[in-house]
Amino acid sequence: MTEPAHGAAQTLLHSSGLPQAWASQPTWRILDTHFNLPRFLALWQAWQADTQRPRLLHVVALTRQPPELSELQAAPTSPELHRLAQELAGQWRGLLPGFHRLLLAQGQLTLTLCVGELQPLLREQHFEADTVLLDADVPWDRWSAKALARCCRRGTTLAWIGSSPGPNPAWRDVLGQSGFVFQDGQAQYAPHWELKNSRETLRTQAAAPDTCAVIGAGLAGASVAAALARRGWRVQVFDAATMPAAGASGLPAGLVVPHVSADDSPRSRLSRAGVRLMLQEVGRLLPEGVDWALSGVLEQRLDGRAGLPAHWPAAGSEISRPAPSFEASLWHEGCATAPALWHAQAAWIKPARLVQAWLALPGVQFCGNAKVSALRKSGTSSGTTWQLLDRDGQLLGNASQVVLANASDAPRLLDSLRAELSELSQLPPVHEMRGVLSAGLRQTGDEAALPPFPVNGLGALIPAVPTEDGLAWYAGATYEAAHQPPAIAAEHHCSNLAKLHTLLPAAARTLAPAFTPEAARGWGGTRCVSADRLPLVGPLEDGAQPTLWINAAMGSRGLSFSLLCAELLAARLGAEPWPVEASLAHFLHARRRPASSSEDLE
């Protein structure tokens, strides 16, 4: 980045009223209609150097085509700008059309990079900007101006970017018709008519950071606690168990890997967004090689279908691509007949360690042996208060907001509330699925039969995870509806071995002795699953200021979905930019009516 470019960026910042405008504000939201690397780095640097900066800075930047990685890696003249550029470059991959949430500066600065055409990207936004950086080199027609107005609040300021000093008279008229006012060289959104938001059915008003009670200390609950604590909330996490991650999140090791489909379904797109966020988070919180590893995952497509869309772009190949048909270091006996995918941006993670790291963050308090049996809502002049009660009616705690992250126990709590809170809507049905993961320790000579990375497709094999007892492997897991009579442990291990024989025959033969009833060991848990295999996220009350929320039904993809859902919930609670497109977030909405899915549960 050259000095003139950086100087121009600094001039723009001051012309937009920044950083004075954000002084002492808890959050500031900037909409940049044309992403520019020097400008973004200058903005980041200005925010970082400001002692009165907002705790959280959101930058939503639109671009038809993101800059190449080489542009980010080119060293700017300033050492500090170079450091910021390198941090950004570390996440600069897989930038397909759509939204990409990048957490920077320890999660205090979020860049939501939106790739695509201007009008569709503006219509997918679900927040009100405090500052808009307007690209004056783009023709702003009536429909673009209306789409921009939907992203503004009364008083949103506009700053011009581009080669021209401001809009020409025709564009000024178009913007003026949409409510933008120009005076003394300044511009802001100040329509002379009353604003209506009848179309904004999912938009909520910002709740100032206060107290929040989260019920459930698994991935779903701990991720919400961490997301809110980062925004200045004081969060108590209640769980019936003595220790966190006592349920399905106690899985000793799991995979975070994107889902793929030929039509690039909402489930696939959401999983990519979730994997991106999760990899950023574990890289920041957990020691690599001990509690997680960016191992990549080989996916066997045992149904014979390639899986990826027909015209998968180069940017997508940075995330998932067809695996080589023959390569001795990758393939093992019996695998070459099925198509396979290589997921470079995939990892194994110890979920319980991540939950512990989230609950250890400043602002979060874990309360074990605290089963919440009832909720009681009361309103005062100072706002809403929720009381959390145990089975004897004793007070466990109170808060201004409550998030249900207690899996299939959430509907029970809601049923007890409906008698007094008629506005609570019925949740889509959820059900429980039991599962067992088989495990064992690596033995001398196993290297010849085990792959050097995790493999999934029918169950999964994670071949090498450090434990206190040595290097371990994990295979499975099984799926069993909780309403059915439970199978004995030996039957679960037998099922996992049968899957492994299909997935990796050589590995199955080598590990078979560890699956016998005498030697078998593993882990069992119960997953909460919705009908369409997607989580339930959002408010459970009507109105612009809900105080009761849910984040549940992660199924077997809690590592892929939990942080994405937590960011979406926190964004809605704080009226912040959403981490994914509004049309995509609809598929996670807690009160949706999901269609049944024929996809395999795994």
Q: Is beta strand 234-238 parallel, antiparallel or unpaired with respect to 364-367?
A: parallel
- Residues with Cβ within 8 Å of 456's Cβ and at least 6 positions away in sequence, in order, are 255, 257, 297, 298, 299, 300, 503
Q: What is the model's pLDDT at position 102?
A: 98
CATH of 211-247+353-429+533-588, one of 3.40.50.300, 3.50.50.60, 3.30.2020.30, 1.10.287.130: 3.50.50.60
DSSP state of 288: B
Q: What is the model's pLDDT at position 338?
A: 74
For residues 463, 465, 471, 472, the Cα torsion angle rounded to the nearest 10 degrees is -60
Q: Is CATH 3.50.30.50 what the domain over 3-189 is classified as, yes or no?
A: no
Mean pLDDT of the chain: 89
Quote the CA–CA distance of 499 and 477 in Å, as a whole number: 9
- pLDDT tens digits along 537-585: 999 988 888 999 999 999 999 999 999 999 999 999 999 999 999 999 9
Q: What is the DSSP string of 366-422?
A: EE-S----EEEEEEETTEEEEEEE-TTS-EEEEESEEEE--GGGHHHHHHHHTTT-T
Q: What DSSP element (H or E) covers 169?
A: helix 169-177
Q: What DSSP element (H or E) covers 123?
A: helix 118-123
- pLDDT tens digits along 359-418: 999 999 999 999 999 999 988 766 889 999 999 999 999 999 999 999 989 988 988 887
| Domain residue limits, the chain | 3-189, 211-247+353-429+533-588, 297-344+431-530
C-alpha triplet 90, 92, 97: angle, nearest 5°:
160
Of 543, 536, 513, the residue nearest 438 (C-alpha):
513
> Class assignment of domain 297-344+431-530?
alpha beta
Quote the CA–CA distance of 484 and 580 in Å, as a whole number: 37
- Residues with Cβ within 8 Å of 471's Cβ and at least 6 positions away in sequence, in order, are 441, 442, 464, 465
Q: What is the DSSP string of 560-572?
A: HHHHHHHHHHHHH
C-alpha triplet 126, 127, 131: angle, nearest 5°:
140
User: Where on the phi/psi map is residue 178: left (φ > 0), alpha (ψ -120 to 50), or beta?
Assistant: alpha
Quote the CA–CA distance of 390 and 106 in Å, as a whole number: 36
SS3 content of the chain, % helix, strand, coil (to 5): 30, 25, 45
The answer to whether 270 touches 561, Cβ cutoff 8 Å, is: yes
The answer to whether 61 touches 114, Cβ cutoff 8 Å, is: yes
Q: What is the model's pLDDT at position 73?
A: 80
What residue spans of 442-512 are helical by DSSP H?
A: 489-503, 505-511
Residues of the chain under the 50 pLDDT cut? 1-4, 198-200, 326-331, 334, 336, 596-602
Quote the CA–CA distance of 193 and 182 in Å, as a whole number: 16
Q: Is 598 exposed, middle or buried (0-12, 13-18, 19+ CB in 10 A)?
A: exposed
End-to-end CA distance of the chain: 46
- pLDDT tens digits along 248-275: 999 999 999 999 999 999 999 999 999 9
